[in-house]
Chains A and B, each alone.
Chain A
Amino acid sequence: MKIKVKFFSSHREAVGRSEINMKVDEGMRLKELMDMLMGSYPKLKKLSEYTVLSLNHRYASGEEILKEGDEVAIFPPVEGG
């Protein structure tokens, strides 16, 4: 099935692209997708501790099962002021 993954800020820099269209297996969980992405993009793995996820514009824990046409967003929470 096809899904879209969007990257923001430092995560976008780590991947070198703003978004990726991907084909993934039925029944894949969001956290499994993250493991796959971190395998493909080592710089993304370095940011794994500082990553917030959303699925179809809703905050996501990683446990969600992906569906055809889903849109995932990956971004860093920030601290400065």
Chain B
Amino acid sequence: MMHGSREGMKEDSDAAKSSFNEKTDGMLTERDAIRYSRQISILGFGKEKQRKLKSAKVMVAGAGGLGSAAALYLAAAGIGYIKIIDDDAVELSNLNRQIFYGEEDIGKDKASCAEKKLKSMNADIKVRGIKEKITEDNAVELIKDVDAVVDCLDNFDTRYIINDACIKLGIPLFHGACMEFGGQAMTVIPEETACLRCIFPKPPHKKVPILGAVAGTIGTIQATEVVKFFAGIEPALAGKLLIYDGKFFSYELIELKRRENCPSCGVSNED
């Protein structure tokens, strides 16, 4: 039964995507070819893969430390449409890591500041900032018109909501989280790889201190995974969890397996 409703949502999502693609698909402009020349010239990349980035629509959930880094690099790379969502206002204590913002932004909505910053960085892409809290009631509606979601949130309650919506709609999720000097990242491909609930059935530590540069490290790892995904290069973190320790510069890459009884993506939920 759930499978049927997922198909229905997928059709809505496809319709929204094709309407967007009519406006953005097509050859790269001469300006695009110059702007992105340093990545187009990467062996195996080329103009065709850059065109795929231009057609891609990505939602960045959370405009904090991870979201600042991830969204700035996605905009710089030429992702055609970025929707960035956050319901908070900028505070002085955000500025050690949230490089979207400056002192003049304190008190302003993060979503509108982030939109302005991304547009100023790259006027050739479409950007939409949304000031809204992600809930079980609006998550599917918020993500159904994008091709991928980047999890830059700061709490697992909302992460589970986004995870479940992505699984339901079959939309890839690029997870990242950080604490003090360390962090983690994994890429969820629905129906193929483990989801967040498979690996983290219980929420981890609450409110944590974070070194800004570590949030930047994890956010840019997420952006790298997103760019590779749209360029047709296999995301290295699909089905894997990267554990990064920036204090001692060590890391571990762990192979993950889907959990059969996972309440979100478990096999028993699919019929």
A75-B243, A78-B205 known; A57+B255 contact, CB < 8 A? yes
Whether B66 lies near A81 (C-beta < 8 A) is: yes
| A76 vs B245: C-alpha distance when bound (angstroms) | 11
Segment at the interface with B among A3-11, A22-30, A37-45:
A3-11
From A49, A73, A79, B254 is in contact (CB under 8 Å) with A73
Among A8, A59, A76, A81, the residue within 8 A (CB) of B64 is A81
Number of interface residues of B (CB under 8 A): 44
Q: How far is the CB of A40 from chain B (nearest CB, A)?
A: 21
Main secondary structure of the interface of A (DSSP, over half): mixed
| Contact count A vs B, C-beta below 8 Å | 101
**Residues of A bordering B, CB below 8 Å:** 6, 8-10, 12, 18, 49-50, 52, 54, 57-59, 73, 75-81
Can you give 25 contacting A-B residue pairs, CB < 8 Å?
A: A8-B250, A9-B180, A9-B243, A10-B180, A12-B245, A12-B248, A49-B202, A50-B204, A52-B241, A57-B253, A57-B255, A58-B254, A58-B255, A58-B257, A59-B256, A73-B252, A75-B243, A76-B182, A77-B177, A77-B204, A78-B205, A79-B154, A80-B178, A81-B64, A81-B215
- Is B31's CB within 8 Å of the partner chain A? no
Q: Which of A8, A50, A52, A57 contacts B182 (CB 8 A)?
A: A8
10 A-B pairs closest in CB distance? A78-B179, A81-B154, A77-B204, A9-B182, A80-B208, A54-B254, A81-B66, A58-B255, A78-B177, A79-B204
CB of B222, distance to nearest CB on chain A (Å): 10
Interface centre among A6, A10, A49, A81 (most CB of B within 10 A): A81
What residue of chain B has the Cβ atom nearest to residue A78's Cβ?
B179
B152 on interface, CB distance cutoff 8 Å: yes
Cross-chain contact A79 with B255 (CB below 8 angstroms)? no
Q: Which of A9, A57, A79 contacts B245 (CB 8 A)?
A: A9
